[in-house]
């Protein structure tokens, strides 16, 4: 290589090295700046609502609950007046009752005829009574022995058949007529009640419920075996018997049964002089179970 060209190569190389050194020294001499850290804020639901430790959340007071009042006392049932008869019923007989005693709201009649004892309810009687707005108490009396469970169940089945034959609707009660001269035990009562409860109908029992009657003793024993006997059976008692009266002179509803015998119908008078009727007082809360 020629000396002149060598010179220029060395000069340019020196100039390039010098430029690099100047750039390096310039960068090291610049002041170092640190960007301040941004304050990290945690956004919460409280901050969105403008709440802070110095500004606690405002809670709205819960509305005061009005004190609950006690349920209103249940109104006692109304006492209605009615009659029952073993005689056949027609317009003349009903008019005799109305003229001499008053118009009954309830009328007790027997299912089917029992020779020498009672005439059976007929479709014509049903129409006559219902056209007058009178409810019917269906009575079953085709037995004289009220003992044993089998007997109670069989009599109930016969009563159900009679009720269906004459068209008594579901939910109505059928009353077993247990006279004071009949032998009676708890098994018969349970057989009657339990069979009817398993049917479309409700059980009812008619009889003389006194503190010392055989019927009361049998009923209380049946209750001890099955509480449904008390809670699901409508009781019709003929104790005491102050005598038949017109509707206007009927006594207060005060049947003389023991406390655990919930009487709903009280037959307070037997054998009226002007018409062959017995007189009754009926609690209005069982009307839905009468036909």
- Is residue 210 situated within a structural domain? yes
- Is residue 224 situated within a structural domain? yes
Tokens representing 195? 């069979």
Mean pLDDT of the chain: 84
What is the span of the domain harbouring residue 179? Answer: 79-289
The pLDDT tens digits for 88-133 are: 999 999 999 999 999 999 999 999 999 999 999 999 999 999 999 9
The pLDDT tens digits for 255-290 are: 999 989 999 999 999 999 999 999 999 999 999 999
Q: Is 192 left (phi over 0), alpha (psi -120 to 50) or beta?
A: alpha
Q: What pLDDT score does 191 carry?
A: 98
- Alpha-carbon dihedral sign for residues 139, 97, 245, 271: negative
- Is residue 267 situated within a structural domain? yes
Q: What pLDDT score does 42 carry?
A: 42
- Is residue 34 situated within a structural domain? no
Q: What percent of the chain has pLDDT over 70?
A: 75
214's enclosing H/E stretch is: helix 214-225
**Greater model confidence, 33 or 82:** 82
Cα–Cα distance between 95 and 93 in angstroms, integer? Answer: 5
- Is residue 269 situated within a structural domain? yes
Q: What pLDDT score does 213 carry?
A: 95
Confidence class for position 232, pLDDT limits 50, 70, 90: very high
Confidence class for position 58, pLDDT limits 50, 70, 90: low
The pLDDT tens digits for 197-217 are: 999 999 999 999 999 999 999
The pLDDT tens digits for 148-157 are: 999 999 999 9
Q: What pLDDT score does 61 carry?
A: 54
Residue 245: give its domain's CATH number: 3.20.20.80
pLDDT exceeds 70 at position 70: no
Confidence class for position 4, pLDDT limits 50, 70, 90: low
Q: What pLDDT score does 53 carry?
A: 46
pLDDT exceeds 60 at position 64: no
* Total number of domains in the chain: 1
Mean pLDDT across 231-235: 96
Q: What are phi and psi of 235, to 5 degrees?
A: -105, 135
pLDDT exceeds 60 at position 177: yes
Question: Which residue, chain included where needed, has tokens 């010179």?
Answer: 7
Which is nearest to 121 in space by CA: 163, 175, 179, 177? Answer: 163
The answer to whether the beta carbons of residues 279 and 100 sit under 8 Å apart is no
- Is residue 184 situated within a structural domain? yes
What pTM was estimated for this model as a whole? 0.75
**Greater model confidence, 9 or 253:** 253
- Is residue 14 situated within a structural domain? no
Q: What pLDDT score does 76 carry?
A: 85
The answer to whether the beta carbons of residues 237 and 265 sit under 8 Å apart is yes
Q: Roughly what angle, to the nearest 10 degrees, separates helices 149-166 and 186-197? A: 40
- Is residue 240 situated within a structural domain? yes
Question: Which residue, chain included where needed, has tokens 């118009």?
Answer: 103
Cα–Cα distance between 88 and 109 in angstroms, integer? Answer: 9
């Amino acid at each position: 290589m020629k000396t002149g060209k060598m010179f220029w190569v060395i000069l340019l190389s020196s100039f390039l090295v010098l430029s690099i050194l100047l750039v390096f020294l310039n960068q090291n001499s610049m002041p170092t700046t640190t960007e301040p850290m941004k304050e990290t804020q945690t956004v919460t639901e409280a901050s969105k609502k403008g709440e802070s430790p110095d500004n606690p959340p405002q809670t709205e007071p819960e509305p005061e609950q009005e004190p609950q009042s006690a349920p209103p006392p249940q109104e006692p049932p109304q006492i209605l007046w009615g009659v029952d008869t073993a005689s056949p019923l027609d317009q003349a007989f009903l008019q005799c009752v109305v003229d001499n005693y008053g118009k009954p709201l309830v009328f007790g009649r027997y299912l089917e005829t029992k020779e020498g004892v009672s005439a059976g309810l007929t479709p014509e009687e049903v129409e006559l009574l219902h056209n007058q707005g009178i409810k019917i108490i269906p009575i079953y009396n085709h037995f004289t022995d009220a003992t044993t469970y089998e007997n109670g169940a069989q009599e109930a089945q016969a009563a159900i058949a009679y009720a269906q034959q004459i068209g008594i609707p579901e939910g109505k009660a059928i009353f077993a007529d247990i006279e004071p001269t009949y032998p009676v035990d708890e098994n018969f009562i349970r057989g009657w009640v339990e069979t009817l409860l398993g049917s479309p109908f409700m059980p009812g029992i008619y009889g003389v419920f006194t503190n010392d009657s055989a019927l009361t003793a049998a009923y209380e024993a049946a209750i001890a075996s099955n509480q449904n006997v008390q809670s699901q059976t409508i009781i019709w008692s003929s104790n005491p018997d102050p005598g038949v009266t017109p509707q206007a002179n009927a006594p207060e509803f005060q049947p003389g049964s023991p406390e655990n015998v919930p009487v709903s119908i009280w037959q307070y008078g037997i054998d009226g002089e002007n018409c062959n009727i017995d007189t009754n007082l009926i609690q209005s809360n069982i009307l839905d179970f009468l036909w």
